[in-house]
Chain A
Amino acid sequence: MASIKKPIVAHPSARANKLGLTMRDYEGSMSTLCAGCGHDSVTAGIVRAFYELETPPHMIAKLSGIGCSSKTPTYFVSGAHGFNSAHGRMPSIATGANAANRSLTYIGISGDGDSLSIGIGQLAHAIRRNLNMLYVLENNGVYGLTKGQFSASADVGTKSKRGDANKQSPIDPVMLGLSLGATFVARGFSGDKAQLVPLLKAGLAHRGFALIDVISPCVTFNDHEGSTKSYVYTRKHLMQMVGTDFVPRAEEITTSYDPGTTTAVKLHDGSTVRLSKVAPDYDPSDRQAVHAYLQRIQGKGEVPTGLLYLDPRSSDMHDMSGTVESPLSRLPFEALCPGSAKLDAIQEAFR
């Protein structure tokens, strides 16, 4: 669709948010992905999430690695600085960027190849550091840009377009995140924007590493019969564990809810996520229980979704490092250089 330019004039019905920005202001350039690609739906969800959160575009940093998914930061928030880095290396670039300026909102877009094969080490350690960012893993079980090889998230028995069955056991980003101590673990589906947008907003508001595994079918190489990452298969096996509703800080919670089935969790920035238990015996605050529960139902081929685990009070990388609140990149040189008198003094220890 790259040949189509977006019209500059916004539709008159486009409503501005409190910053005076419309949805169009959170869009980017036209997608060059295949028509019907799940990633484009995720992009649309991200546009809506930022618009609704009213994040100033220049305070967003969007980063990615390499692959179809990693192309997508071009397609949202053109007013934000972007960084399309190298294959599997986005987490380290994001770590450094965040170390330098903790006041920005970081969103990283990656795929199953980028995150679970070449970049699994960097993903694992970004989780361990609880880097404050939203990490969206657009998961289609296949390498698209190189035309259809299985990725590490491909299920055993799932068939490639040519008909070969995958024999290696998959790496599941949700289970990986849970076992490494991720503080926000969710799964969404590109075909369910109503569920995805609140997940994205909660992930952006969460202080710490928010991992969202988004099943995002590849229409060209992995949407056929026999694939466990197709639209049809995913729709059939979706199982929402937890309903997520995001309430920003400024808004009052007006709708009533049943405290027996719904929990309101305050996030660090003052916003609230309301988690409604669709599966009555599911507790998204108990890591061990979540792990066991998901293992059980995923073993049956189901695709559990929702905000699956949340620890809203965790320490992020800067908390653990004891960094000052103001961005390190903005500290005046005078606050950084000890000066000649101190240099003279310290050298007495080198005599």
Chain B
Amino acid sequence: MHQQRVVKVNDFALKLANVNGTGSASANSLLMQAIFRMGIPVSGKNLFPSNIQGLPTWYEVRVNHAGHVARALDYDLVVAMNAETYARDVKEVRSGGYLLYDSTWPLDASLMREDVQFLGVPLAQMCNDIFGESRERILMKNIAYLGALMALLDIDTAIVDQMLEEKFGKKKALMDSNHRALSCGYDYARDHLDCPLPIRLEKMNATSDSILIDGNTATALGCVYAGATVAAWYPITPSTSVMDAFKQFCEKFRKDPETKKNNYCIVQAEDELSAIGMVIGANWNGARAFTSTSGPGVSLMSELIGLAYYAEIPVVLVDVQRTGPSTGMPTRTQQGDILACAYASHGDTKHILLFPANPGECFSLVVEAFDLAERFQTPVFMLTDLDIGMNDWVCPRLKWDDSYRPDRGRVMDAAELEAAGKFFRYSPENADHVAARTLPGTSSKGAFFTRGSGHNKLGGYTEIPDEYQEVMDRLLKKHAAAKKAVPAAIVQTQPGARIGLVSVGGCDPAVREAVDVLAAAGTKVDYLRVRAFPFGADVEAFLANHDRVYVIEQNRDAQLKTLLLVETAVAKEKLRSVLVYGGFPLSSRHVVDSVTRQEQQEKVTG
């Protein structure tokens, strides 16, 4: 049994298998936070069910001193707390790895593996001895395994003490329970197991300028900083926490100092049809307004997205993507709404999309979304996903430039209307092919009739082909003009690379790691991460300058690749796909294996 174990300091992956609704999330996020505070790059992925209590849930922690914290597919240590998934969880331990289990009950002999070291800790028994109340026994078992992990992985106990102090400082009884549970796990592991394990932690200084934040919180903060005053939404996983956080930040930052009244209005709508209508109404009336939703919401909103597009009303829509189609898997991640958003609504429509890759970009890009929506008087979608939105990510501290002022686009005030004499809603246009709008309440001289029905360039109703087409053609030019205004792609090159990788959003950490792994194996690749649609000249140039381009995305139908084929000049033969769409975040191994396999085929057939 005692094989030679590989020492892996600050470079390993854990998987914690739990039952949902038992309080494990709190222990697991404390674990991740402790590693973060030890200064070590880390990620935590919550793989949870669409359920409140009783179904399997997993939490994965990846620790990597080089900063590669995309999801790992090999687990050095699995904490198996869910009898229902034991068999599956035992299988997932890498050869030579460890399995921590609750030894209150004997483990089924058939589950044993020769190449895995089993670490038994009598968690239930210890918690039953310490705690009298049944719910507390269940909750504290999680804290007890955290205690055991502290000893096994060499987690700094002072840091954990400090975190508990911050969390429970004023609640003495809770604090006391947590300490007792932590100690029983820690002491047992120290006294009965070889601590620390060869996989362990050592303090670093790689996270002192970073924060631990999820994308939905960062998005909400961005909306506050962008000056959004109206938000309308309908609860939907995984976007709900955007609005929860927006409300919390508004309560903190948006109270009128004298009256204590709200400098914001959040409306929980009856459905997404209504939520988007409210956002359109508020933007039409001059407020910065947004909604947050997920795929099913986008489907419902599509009708009025077309109205906003055609009547040229700014809209900011945050789509935290989940696994579709239909209800799909609400608590699993995907990038399946790219095409649905790019062309949302009936008739000829085309929208501006922004793709943040991490919570830091959620914060900065949502501010850009408001500027672009008002500058181009059109809906702007920010597409994140469940992995970015709901998991905590280590990000550089958010920065804010106090000289920032919102770009409200072309809006004429009463004096400008007076000077202009005549006002027509859709004429004259500027270099971006945008005409000035006026806000209700400004002046009768700027009054106009907003309509989703056919209109001419003066804003009047029309059914005349030429007049209709003139407006539609301008809208197309306007969309093209946005190419120069949207955030540029992020490009990473190596001298002599002929192969390109193109990816988007939350794939980024896995793809960046894959670039290094491929290079180490002798395959040089360049990498471009798309951050917006319409695609700019940078995307065109990257596609033109590489022999083969692998488009890596998390959906079945190669939606980004499709969009690139339709909307750029790239030749179809050049583009390949790497598609991972089972609902869990992407791993670098998915990318490396697929690219390697396809390149080998290329050598055989090419």
Q: Which A residues are closer than 8 A to B by beta carbons? A: 56-59, 61, 73-74, 78-86, 89, 91-101, 103-104, 121-122, 124-125, 129, 317-318, 321-325, 327-331, 333, 335-340, 342-344, 346-347, 350-351
B429 at the interface (CB under 8 A from A): no
Nearest residue (CB) in B for A62 is B449
A96-B263 in contact (CB<8A): no
Given contacts A101-B440, A121-B274, A336-B227, contact A343 B398 (CB under 8 A): yes
Chain B 398-435 per-residue mask, 1 if CB under 8 angstroms from chain A, else 0: 11111011100000000000000000000000000000
Partner of A335, one of B263, B284, B450: B263
B399-A74 in contact (CB<8A): no
A97-B452 in contact (CB<8A): no
User: Smallest Cβ distance from B412 to chain A, in angstroms?
Assistant: 13
A93-B284 in contact (CB<8A): yes
29 residue pairs bridging A and B, Cβ less than 8 Å apart: A58-B440, A58-B442, A61-B441, A78-B447, A83-B281, A86-B277, A89-B273, A91-B277, A92-B274, A92-B278, A95-B274, A96-B279, A96-B281, A96-B284, A96-B289, A97-B284, A99-B267, A99-B287, A104-B285, A104-B441, A124-B270, A317-B265, A321-B267, A329-B287, A339-B400, A346-B252, A347-B397, A350-B213, A351-B211
B354 at the interface (CB under 8 A from A): no
| B171-179, B253-261, B468-476: which lies at the interface | B253-261
B278-A96 in contact (CB<8A): yes
Given contacts A324-B263, A329-B439, A347-B397, contact A122 B281 (CB under 8 A): no
B227-A122 in contact (CB<8A): no
Q: What are the residues of chain B within 8 A of A337 when measuring CB–CB?
A: 224-227, 404
Q: What are the residues of chain B within 8 A of A338 when measuring CB–CB?
A: 224-225, 253
Interface residue ranges of B532-591 to A (CB < 8 Å): none
> Interface on chain A toward B: helix, strand, loop, or mixed SS?
helix
Q: What are the residues of chain B within 8 A of A346 when measuring CB–CB?
A: 221, 252
A81-B274 in contact (CB<8A): no
Nearest residue (CB) in A for B224 is A338
User: Smallest Cβ distance from A282 to chain B, in angstroms?
Assistant: 33
Cα distance, A115 to B394, chains bound together (Å): 49
Q: What are the residues of chain B within 8 A of A335 when measuring CB–CB?
A: 256, 263
A322-B402 in contact (CB<8A): no
B531 at the interface (CB under 8 A from A): no
Given contacts A79-B444, A329-B287, 12 further A-B pairs with CB under 8 A are A58-B447, A82-B447, A86-B452, A92-B275, A96-B284, A121-B270, A121-B273, A121-B274, A329-B285, A340-B401, A343-B221, A344-B397
Cα distance, A95 to B284, chains bound together (Å): 12
Q: What are the residues of chain B within 8 A of A95 when measuring CB–CB?
A: 232, 267, 274, 277-278, 281
B230-A328 in contact (CB<8A): yes
B527 at the interface (CB under 8 A from A): no
Instruction: Report which residue of B253, B446, B453 has the largest number of chain A beta carbons within 10 angstroms of its beta carbon.
Output: B253
A318-B265 in contact (CB<8A): yes
Given contacts A121-B274, A347-B397, A351-B211, contact A340 B402 (CB under 8 A): yes
Cα distance, A329 to B282, chains bound together (Å): 8
A122-B273 in contact (CB<8A): yes
Interface residue ranges of B268-321 to A (CB < 8 Å): 269-271, 273-287, 289, 303-304, 307
Partner of A97, one of B226, B285, B401: B285
Partner of B281, one of A80, A100, A351: A100
Given contacts A329-B286, A342-B253, contact A58 B262 (CB under 8 A): no
Partner of B447, one of A80, A100, A125: A80
B212 at the interface (CB under 8 A from A): yes
Partner of A81, one of B224, B263, B280, B447: B447
Q: What are the residues of chain B within 8 A of A317 when measuring CB–CB?
A: 265, 267
B450-A340 in contact (CB<8A): no
Partner of A84, one of B266, B440, B453: B453
User: Smallest Cβ distance from A332 to chain B, in angstroms?
Assistant: 9
Q: What are the residues of chain B within 8 A of A91 when measuring CB–CB?
A: 274, 277
Cα distance, A326 to B290, chains bound together (Å): 20
B37 at the interface (CB under 8 A from A): yes
B262-A122 in contact (CB<8A): no
Q: What are the residues of chain B within 8 A of A85 when measuring CB–CB?
A: 277, 280, 304, 307, 450, 452
B265-A99 in contact (CB<8A): yes
Chain B 198-233 per-residue mask, 1 if CB under 8 angstroms from chain A, else 0: 000000000000011100000001001111011010
Cα distance, A57 to B442, chains bound together (Å): 10
Partner of A350, one of B211, B274, B450: B211
B261-A322 in contact (CB<8A): yes
User: Smallest Cβ distance from B96 to chain A, in angstroms?
Assistant: 34
Cα distance, A350 to B213, chains bound together (Å): 6
User: Smallest Cβ distance from A100 to chain B, in angstroms?
Assistant: 4
Cα distance, A73 to B400, chains bound together (Å): 44
Cα distance, A161 to B262, chains bound together (Å): 53
